[in-house]
Amino acid sequence: MTAVQRASEPVIVNVGLGERAYDIVIGRGGLASLGSRIAALKKGASAAIVSDETVAARHLGAAEAALRAASIRTTAIVVPPGEATKSWSRLEEVCDRLLGARIERNDVVVALGGGVMGDLAGFAAAILRRGLDVVQVPTSLLAQVDSSVGGKTGINSPHGKNLVGAFHQPAMVIADTALLDTLPKREFRAGYAEVAKYGLLGDAAFFAWLEQNWQDVFAGGQGAGSSAREHAIAVCCRGKAGIVSRDERETGERALLNLGHTFGHALEAGCGFSDRLLHGEAVALGMALAFGFSARKKLIAPAEAERARAHLAGVGLPTHIKDIAGGAPGVDELMDLIAQDKKVKRGKLTFILVRGIGQAFVANDVDASEVRSFLAEQYR
Ligand X SMILES: NC(=O)c1ccc[n+]([C@@H]2O[C@H](COP(=O)([O-])OP(=O)(O)OC[C@H]3O[C@@H](n4cnc5c(N)ncnc54)[C@H](O)[C@@H]3O)[C@@H](O)[C@H]2O)c1
Binding-site member from 33, 46, 136, 140 for ligand X (CB under 6 A): 140
Given the complex with ligand X, which of 13 and 299 has the nearer CB atom? 13
Residue 116 is a binding residue for ligand X (CB under 6 A): yes
Residue 152 is a binding residue for ligand X (CB under 6 A): yes
Binding-site member from 33, 46, 54, 74 for ligand X (CB under 6 A): 54
Minimum CB–partner distance for residue 279 and ligand X (Å): 5
Provide the pairing of β-strand 22-27 with 160-167.
Answer: unpaired
Residue 174: CA count within 13 A, CB half-sphere: 24
Q: Taking the C-alpha atoms of 78, 146, 291 and 189 in order, what is their torsion angle to the nearest 10 degrees?
A: -50
Given the complex with ligand X, which of 97 and 189 has the nearer CB atom? 189
Name every residue whose Cβ is closer than 8 Å to that of residue 285 and which is 6 or more positions away in sequence.
260, 263, 264, 267, 277, 317, 318, 319, 320, 321, 323, 324
Residue 113 is a binding residue for ligand X (CB under 6 A): yes
Residue 142 is a binding residue for ligand X (CB under 6 A): yes
Residues 153-182 binding ligand X (CB under 6 A) are 161-162, 179-180, 182
Interatomic CA distance for residues 243 and 360, integer angstroms: 13
Given the complex with ligand X, which of 183 and 354 has the nearer CB atom? 183
DSSP class of residue 147 equals I
The candidate with the shortest Cα–Cα distance to 118, out of 149, 160, 76, is 149
The candidate with the shortest Cα–Cα distance to 191, out of 139, 141, 239, is 141
Q: Which one from 6, 19, 43, 130 is the annotated catalytic residue?
A: 130
Contact segment (CB under 6 A) with ligand X among 135-143, 244-252, 322-330, 359-367 equals 135-143
Is the CB of residue 245 less than 8 Å from the CB of residue 17?
yes
Minimum CB–partner distance for residue 291 and ligand X (Å): 21
Residue 110 is a binding residue for ligand X (CB under 6 A): no
Is 254 annotated as catalytic? yes
Residue 202 is a binding residue for ligand X (CB under 6 A): no
Q: Which one from 250, 253, 304, 333 is the annotated catalytic residue?
A: 250
Binding mask 69-98 for ligand X (x = CB under 6 A): ------------xxx--x------------
Residue 240 is a binding residue for ligand X (CB under 6 A): no
Q: Which one from 59, 97, 238, 279 is the annotated catalytic residue?
A: 279
Given the complex with ligand X, which of 57 and 310 has the nearer CB atom? 57
Q: Which one from 42, 265, 309, 342 is the annotated catalytic residue?
A: 265
Site size for ligand X (CB under 6 A)? 30
Residue 148: CA count within 13 A, CB half-sphere: 34
Provide the pairing of β-strand 348-354 with 108-113.
Answer: unpaired
- SS3 letters for 289-326? HHHHHHHHCCCCCHHHHHHHHHHHHHCCCCCCHHHCCC
Interatomic CA distance for residues 190 and 278, integer angstroms: 7
Is 37 annotated as catalytic? no
Residue 50 is a binding residue for ligand X (CB under 6 A): no
Interatomic CA distance for residues 380 and 231, integer angstroms: 40
Residue 147 is a binding residue for ligand X (CB under 6 A): yes
Minimum CB–partner distance for residue 334 and ligand X (Å): 20
Q: Which one from 64, 194, 230, 268 is the annotated catalytic residue?
A: 194
Interatomic CA distance for residues 242 and 326, integer angstroms: 39
Exposure pattern of 275-295 as b/e (b: 16+ CB <10 Å)? Answer: ebbbbbbbbbbbbbbbbbbbb
Given the complex with ligand X, which of 45 and 135 has the nearer CB atom? 135
Is 372 annotated as catalytic? no
At 376, the amino acid letter reads A
Q: Where are the alpha helices (DSSP H) in 88-203?
A: 88-100, 115-127, 141-142, 185-202
Query: Catalytic residues, which ones?
Result: 130, 152, 194, 240, 250, 254, 258, 261, 265, 279
Q: By the criterion CB under 6 A, which residues form the site for ligand X?
A: 52, 54-55, 58, 81-83, 86, 113-117, 119, 139-140, 142-143, 146-147, 150, 152, 161-162, 179-180, 182-183, 187, 279
